[in-house]
Amino acid sequence: MNSRLQEIREKQKLRRQILAQQLGAESADSIGAVLHSKDELKEIEETREASRASYDSSAPPLKKKPQTEGEDTEEDVEEQKDEVEVQQEDETNPYEEVYKDSSTFLKGTQSLNPHNDYCQHFVDTGHRPQNFIRDVGLADRFEEYPKLRELIRLKDELISTTNVPPMYLQADLDHFELRDLKSQFDVILIEPPLEEYYRESGISHTERFWTWDDIMRLEIEEISALRSFVFLWCGSGEGLDLGRMCLRKWGFRRCEDICWIKTNKNNPGKTKALDPKAVFQRTKEHCLMGIKGTVRRSTDGDFIHANVDIDLIITEEPEMGNVEKPVEIFHIIEHFCLGRRRLHLFGRDSTIRPGWLTVGPTLTNTNFNPEAYASHFPLPDDHLSGCTEEIERLRPKSPVKLKSDRGGGAPRGGRATTTTTTTAATTTTPAATDPPTATEGFLDLRFRMDRTFASDLSNNSTTAFSSLSKEVTGEVNKVCQNLYAPFYRRSHVNSFTNGSIAVNMDLIFINSSSLPPLALAKVQLARALNDTTLNVIPGSVVVESSAIRLLQPSMSTLTIFSLTVLALAQILNLS
């Protein structure tokens, strides 16, 4: 207990020293002098009360009765006016001495405690309000949360042991084809050289500015995995809207907005060049986070660990001429996503780090080799860092939904007939493997798997057909849910034929109007199916509209047609 108390006292002493340094006091004991001591506050209040009392007692009456016969002369009236003016001038002197700082303009109970108004303090001293937020560093952020502190320590150890060696590639992204990286990435961090950064810092740039049209032309969709995230630094101006447009073009949905709040403890009052396009002084930047595919924090614990960090970064503003972003963004990404394939675009020599492939035009060297990089992930799940039992126990998790145990009675607040209606409705819902209904839309999907064909696969009633059909529909459903949710419903295998194993199946959607364009679907499915465990032969994927299949005659249709024609010919000959 005594050691804990001593620790608290040491922290309190350290905080007083930091506060004294921020307020410009000589020592922690002189903070009261800077913020007005109790004696000074009492003296100020007594002076104000005395001034008010003096004013009340010396105010002239509205009507003055004559002391003697007759009325006052004009000279007496002028003398009284002069006395009143002198008294009014004298009574303002105490207030001029007291109203010497911002406390004059503060209202209510805080009028004698101006140091609690951080906005006014910024006007007076240049210290930004965020300077006074304590315990913002990575080292002391979880000082009072031992469980989170232990979780972060364990995750950092796991990350350091599973990171791939740092790789870097000097490339002009204006002309470089991202496909040449020959890899799909789980996390992509984009740090474009926006004009806004150099305009605010007031320095000359060493590389060309990138407009948002240039950024949008980056083919991020070609190098992002089915489940992946993108982090895009977009400044604090027009990039907040245009960055969202880039995410949509690349096939991502914006899910978070990480905000970097800049302090100025080292240089209070000295700001970088003010942005002429800004209304206020900008003291923050934004990093938009986008998600691709279906990733749920309650079910995808193998890929993400949510709620480990917050969406705020509070660090000191870089000095003039420095456009570096805080290193904490790397920690947030690595703690959140368990994917090991990480790409940093527009990186610099100072941002090269283990576990990341850094690509940028200002890099001074290159060690990247596509084959060597891919060799770190030989198996389908090797791109995941995994998780220890202790991390799984400590990490925050989504609450488990409790199932109702009240039996089969009526729902609370409802009627018994509601259950009957719901049951009747669910009986009409197609099963997960049923063929398409008349109201649903579907596409024909055909591809070949690099596997040996068995005769049992020709019969849809055999165990071999059912087992392979379940495997194929499972993998295809994952792909289509990531690409076409919420319009996609299910898939149905029609047949397996010889030729390695040729698969003929239907992709079923809500209705015909929700079908994706054929050309786009073929490109998307051909790329996505190559990342599955089905061993799809490249170039074998074919996607066709359901209308084409309806126009193709079957063998039974041709037989009936031939018999009909033959009968008509016999009738004509007899006649």
pLDDT tens by residue, 11-30: 878 877 777 776 667 777 77
Flag the least confident range among 151-155, 254-258, 404-408, 561-565: 404-408
Cβ atoms 192, 215 nearer than 8 A: yes
Residue 352 confidence (pLDDT) above 80: yes
pLDDT tens by residue, 269-306: 766 566 677 778 888 999 999 999 888 888 888 999 99
Q: How confident is the model at residue 530 (pLDDT cuts 50, 70, 90)?
A: confident
Q: For the residues 441-462, what does the mean pLDDT come to?
A: 89
Name which residue leads in pLDDT, 292 or 203: 292
Strand, coil or helix: what is 218?
coil
Residue 84 confidence (pLDDT) above 90: no
Q: Which pLDDT value is given to residue 38?
A: 60
Amino acid residing at 10:
E
Q: For the residues 120-124, what does the mean pLDDT come to?
A: 80
Q: For the residues 42-57, what does the mean pLDDT come to?
A: 65
Residue 99 confidence (pLDDT) above 50: no
Q: For the residues 493-506, what does the mean pLDDT come to?
A: 90
pLDDT tens by residue, 216-255: 999 999 999 999 999 999 998 889 999 999 999 999 999 9
Cβ atoms 325, 286 nearer than 8 A: no
Q: Which pLDDT value is given to residue 415?
A: 38
Q: For the residues 160-166, what does the mean pLDDT come to?
A: 94
Alpha-carbon torsion angle 243, 246, 251, 255, nearest 10: 0
Q: How confident is the model at residue 73 (pLDDT cuts 50, 70, 90)?
A: low
Q: Which pLDDT value is given to residue 2?
A: 73
Residue 570 confidence (pLDDT) above 50: yes
Please name which of 492, 488, 472, 469 lies closest in space to residue 480, comparing C-alpha atoms: 488
Q: How confident is the model at residue 76 (pLDDT cuts 50, 70, 90)?
A: low
Residue 496 confidence (pLDDT) above 60: yes
Q: Which pLDDT value is given to residue 202?
A: 57
Q: Which pLDDT value is given to residue 57?
A: 59
Residue 351 confidence (pLDDT) above 70: yes
Q: Which pLDDT value is given to residue 409?
A: 45
Q: For the residues 402-416, what does the mean pLDDT come to?
A: 45
Measure the N-to-C terminal CA separation of the chain; round to a whole number of Å: 117
Strand, coil or helix: what is 92?
helix
Q: How confident is the model at residue 406 (pLDDT cuts 50, 70, 90)?
A: very low
DSSP at 339? B
321's CB contacts (< 8 A; 6+ apart) are 201, 203
DSSP labels, 343-370: EEET--GGG--TTEEEEETT-S-----H
Domains of the chain plus CATH, in order, are: 146-270+281-375 (3.40.50.150), 441-548 (3.30.70.960)
Residue holding tokens 């061993």? 535
Q: Which pLDDT value is given to residue 40?
A: 60
Residue 83 confidence (pLDDT) above 60: no
The top-scoring range by mean pLDDT among 63-72, 89-98, 233-242, 560-569 is: 233-242
Measured distance CA(235)–CA(192) in Å, rounded = 10
Cβ atoms 108, 245 nearer than 8 A: no
Angle between helices 74-98 and 38-58 (to 10 degrees): 170
Strand, coil or helix: what is 168?
strand
Name which residue leads in pLDDT, 86 or 26: 26
Residue 411 confidence (pLDDT) above 90: no
Q: Please state the pTM of the whole predicted model.
A: 0.56
CA distances to 38, 60, 98, 177 from 48, in Å? 15, 20, 8, 75
Measured distance CA(25)–CA(32) in Å, rounded = 9
282's CB contacts (< 8 A; 6+ apart) are 200, 236, 237, 275
Q: Which pLDDT value is given to residue 127?
A: 87
Residue 190 confidence (pLDDT) above 90: yes
Name which residue leads in pLDDT, 56 or 342: 342
Residue 324 confidence (pLDDT) above 80: yes
CA distances to 129, 233, 241, 490 from 237, in Å? 21, 11, 8, 43
Helix (H) or strand (E) holding 523: helix 518-529
* pLDDT-above-90 percentage for the chain: 35
Q: For the residues 406-422, what does the mean pLDDT come to?
A: 41
Summary mean pLDDT of the chain: 78
Residue 455 confidence (pLDDT) above 50: yes
Residue 488 confidence (pLDDT) above 50: yes
Cβ atoms 331, 258 nearer than 8 A: no
Q: For the residues 508-524, what does the mean pLDDT come to?
A: 83
